[in-house]
A and B are shown apart, each in its own frame.
Chain A
Amino acid sequence: MMDKFEAFIKNKLEEGVAPSLSSLSVIKLAAKENSKTRCPSGRVRFLFAGLVAAVLSAIIALTVLFQFKDVDSREIARASKSISHSDNVTIQIIELLSVNDGENQDFTHISSDIDRLLSWQDAPYNEVAYEYSNQF
């Protein structure tokens, strides 16, 4: 709380005090310039938000895609390993392909793969498994 003397000095100091018009103009100009950089227009903000949303959607889509791809690769690798230790190449190859059936609905492609892989029965097991897993 201000006492009488303090209030008196305050009144005297504020007597006839006012900012000059040039100062006010400079302040207004600075505020205007600053708000241009600080506050983009509604349209720019909308475009920016759209761009961010598009980038985020793309990242999410790619993440999901690669996650499924990873699952396939892991299953194939596991299956390939079992082939390499099996004597019955044909059965193992068919099992390998059946793992992938749920994901890959292109049965024509799978059939041709089976045919091709069956024709390699004489090839070393590891080589057959490697060749197949590289296709995915």
Chain B
Amino acid sequence: MPNDSHLFENYVRRGDLESLSALVSRHSVWMLALLRGMLNSASDADDAFQDTWIRVIKSADRYKGGNIRAYLAIVARSVAVDFLRRRGRDMRFEPLVNENDEAIEIPDSSPTPDDRFESLARSDDVMRALADLPEGPRQVFLMRIEAELSFREIAETMDIPIGTALTWMQSAKVKLKKILGRLR
């Protein structure tokens, strides 16, 4: 089975639509989940999904090889941020670093063990819980679990220190557990 880079190059160099189609279908689920999580709207996520691929297609020359999932995630996030800006949503990140740019330790105060969520939470609950997260931690969390980016890649993409990315990830998990615990 050809890898992602081959599929993309087949499209860029030979105009092979089958290769692009295979790439879209291979990356559609996680990308849509990422966009749904960021935009908290299935219809906006679908529009953003479409815009992401159009942007990828039109700027295919910019792809210089490497992890295509990370490349797609960066474009998808950028499209989602544009959507949020248009929506006029407050995009300010919560400061979770001190004045020395050091991560503030957030204790995991969740009283509920992880296992309990599995049988109780539904997809809608997760969406609602994510919507309650501050923008920064939510993006870091989604980029981490859906796009599977490293913390370094996340930090570069979001233009934040790596310590902040790590802190936001931890904070997102703690808050999600709390929110899901309340929704239960």
Interface on A for B, CB 8 Å cutoff?
A: 2-10, 12-20, 23-24, 26-28, 30-32, 34-36, 38-39
Select the stretch in B27-35, B69-77, B98-106, B158-166 that faces chain A: B27-35
Q: Is the CB of B114 within 8 A of A31?
A: no
Chain B residue, CB-CB nearest to A13? B33
A12-B121, A19-B49 are known contacts. Are A35 and B29 too (CB-CB below 8 A)?
no
Q: Is the CB of A23 within 8 A of B15?
A: no
Question: Which of B36, B114, B130, B146 touches A4 (beta carbons < 8 Å)?
Answer: B114
Question: Which of B29, B47, B123, B144 touches A12 (beta carbons < 8 Å)?
Answer: B123
A28 to chain B, nearest CB (A): 7
User: Which chain A residues lie closer than 8 Å to B15 at the CB level?
Assistant: 35-36, 38-39
Question: Which of B14, B57, B146 touches A27 (beta carbons < 8 Å)?
Answer: B57
User: Which chain B residues lie closer than 8 Å to A9 at the CB level?
Assistant: 126, 141, 145, 176
Chain A residue, CB-CB nearest to B114? A5
A7, B53: Cα distance in complex, Å: 26
B81 to chain A, nearest CB (A): 19
Q: Is the CB of B145 within 8 A of A34?
A: no
Give the dominant DSSP class at B's interface.
helix
Q: Is the CB of A13 within 8 A of B123?
A: yes
A64, B118: Cα distance in complex, Å: 80
Chain A residue, CB-CB nearest to B32? A17
User: Which chain A residues lie closer than 8 Å to B141 at the CB level?
Assistant: 9
Q: Is the CB of B173 within 8 A of A6?
A: yes
Q: Is the CB of B29 within 8 A of A14?
A: yes
Q: Is B91 in the interface zone, CB < 8 Å from A?
A: no
Question: Which of A12, A23, A36 touches B126 (beta carbons < 8 Å)?
Answer: A12
B131 to chain A, nearest CB (A): 12
List, sorted by A's number, 13 A–B pairs whose CB atoms are closer than 8 Å. Answer: A9-B145, A10-B146, A12-B126, A13-B33, A13-B145, A14-B146, A16-B123, A18-B28, A19-B46, A19-B50, A31-B21, A35-B15, A39-B13
Question: Which of A13, A15, A19, A31 touches B28 (beta carbons < 8 Å)?
Answer: A19
A30, B46: Cα distance in complex, Å: 16
Q: Is B183 in the interface zone, CB < 8 Å from A?
A: no
